[in-house]
Amino acid sequence: MEKIDFVLTWVDGTDEKWQKVRRQYHPVKGADGSAARYRDWDNLQYWFRGVEKFAPWVNRIYFVTWGHLPSWLNTEHPKLKIIRHEDYMDPKYLPTFNINALELNFHRIPELSEQFVYFNDDMFLLNAVTEEDFFKNGLPRDCCIETALVQDDIHNPFASMLMNDAALANMHYSKKEVLKKHWKKWLHPAYGKMVLRNLLMMPYREFSSFKYTHLPSAFLKNTYSRLWEEEGTLLDEICQNRFRTSFDVNQYVLKYWQYMEGMFEPQSPKIGRFYTIGLHDEQIHDTIRNQRCKMICINDTADVGDFEKQKARIQQSFETIFPEKSSFEL
């Protein structure tokens, strides 16, 4: 098994220096500058505890930050590499508050392994994971399930980005040829009942979208390089957006490229769960405390109710399974 690195992005929305710089680039119309996108839930220590306990095989952790760091972080840990935006981003893209720009340039991170797993700071490990949970036969593990794209919030640009991702894939690939060549991966039993979605979407001439799992994503750096070779002008324009916009593509376009080329190994969607704070509170705490899956995403939104109360309760749930500090903490 080749080396596998983890990439973790983090921002401290309470950092006054960061806030001052951000105010100089007030979001333009159509950009997403919601404060909820940058607030800190003070639970990142549990991410490191989960990795140390459940993924001790990881080669290196690349911690991507604007410049601020948690006060408790052991920056001397041999597996930890601090990466500031200027360490890998083209200067013309900086400063950026657009997560899409950061994500689309991960292949430029110095010394990052060819195989890597990307975590947002709201994704946590709850049980032991193996290298084969992320890569098999040298390919990323993924759940490739086509679905119809729906939107229930006209002010949220995310669905527009997913539509852009699919549009770009359709511009480069024939659905008919992709399914003909890789049908075994599209109709794989690992998907369970969800394989029916792929069957139902087959009659449509073009790809609509794919199931949005929002869990840790396995990538090959080579996929990034190929996409930049083919769509460098478009990606360059997107990376110059200081905030994410409805005209962006995001990291999922790279997953779609891997689907189109059959550069993935099918993964069960049951490997993790995605919940939204304020909508699925009881499910969140039950899943964490009883470790009901291997990984969880705890999604933040603008309307979570009492923020401090929610934050404290999530910390309490994590403390039940991670009561001890990790070696990544001072």
Tens of pLDDT, residues 265-287: 999 999 999 999 988 999 999 99
Judge contact between 129 and 55, C-beta under 8 A: yes
* 166-179 core/surface letters (b: 16 or more CB in 10 A; e: else): bebbbeebebeebb
Residue 255 in this model has a pLDDT that exceeds 80: yes
pLDDT computed for residue 38 by the predictor = 67
Instruction: Name the band, by pLDDT with cuts 50, 70 and 90, for residue 305.
Output: confident
* Omega prior to 323 cis, within 30 of 0: no
pLDDT computed for residue 1 by the predictor = 76
Instruction: Name the band, by pLDDT with cuts 50, 70 and 90, for residue 326.
Output: very high
Arithmetic mean of pLDDT, 242-270: 96
pLDDT computed for residue 95 by the predictor = 96
Domain spans in the chain, listed from the N-terminal domain onward = 4-321
- Residue from 64, 84, 91 nearest 239 by CA: 91
Over its C-alpha atoms, the chain yields an Rg (Å, rounded) of 19
**Cα separation of 245 and 29, whole Å?**
9
Tokens of 11: 């921002």
**Cα separation of 16 and 265, whole Å?**
44
pLDDT computed for residue 219 by the predictor = 98
Tell me which residue has tokens 């916009």: 245
**Cα separation of 145 and 264, whole Å?**
13
* 207-227 core/surface letters (b: 16 or more CB in 10 A; e: else): bbbbeebbbbbbbbbebbeeb
pLDDT in tens, 18-34: 989 998 987 666 555 55
Task: Give the type of residue at 283.
Answer: Q
Listed as own residue / partner, the contacts of 10-13 with beta carbons closer than 8 Å and 24 or more positions apart are 10/44, 10/63, 10/64, 10/65, 10/70, 10/121, 11/38, 11/40, 11/65, 11/66, 11/68, 11/121, 12/40, 12/66, 12/68, 12/70, 13/38, 13/39, 13/40
Arithmetic mean of pLDDT, 3-9: 98
Residue 303 in this model has a pLDDT that exceeds 90: no
Instruction: Name the band, by pLDDT with cuts 50, 70 and 90, for residue 40.
Output: confident
> Angle at CA 207, nearest 5°, toward 194 and 197?
15
pLDDT in tens, 77-134: 999 999 999 999 999 999 999 999 999 999 999 999 999 999 999 999 999 999 999 9
**Cα separation of 324 and 225, whole Å?**
40
Q: Report, at the CATH architecture level, how domain 4-321 is classified.
A: Alpha-Beta Complex (3.90)
pLDDT computed for residue 37 by the predictor = 56
What stretches of the chain adopt beta strand conformation (E)?
A: 4-10, 31-32, 61-65, 80-84, 115-119, 123-125, 135-136, 139-142, 146-147, 209-210, 217-220, 244-245, 265-266, 272-276, 295-299
Flag the least confident range among 25-39, 67-81, 130-144: 25-39
- Per the prediction, the chain carries an average pLDDT of 93
Arithmetic mean of pLDDT, 283-304: 92
How many Cα atoms sit within 13 Å of 253 on the Cβ side? 34
pLDDT computed for residue 36 by the predictor = 57
Residue 244 forms beta bridges with which residues?
Answer: 32
Torsion of CA 123, 126, 131, 137, to 10 degrees: -70
Tokens of 242: 């200081």
Judge contact between 202 and 180, C-beta under 8 A: no
Flag the least confident range among 5-14, 200-209, 305-314: 305-314
pLDDT computed for residue 182 by the predictor = 97
pLDDT in tens, 143-173: 999 998 877 777 778 889 999 999 999 999 9
Q: What is the pTM of this model?
A: 0.95
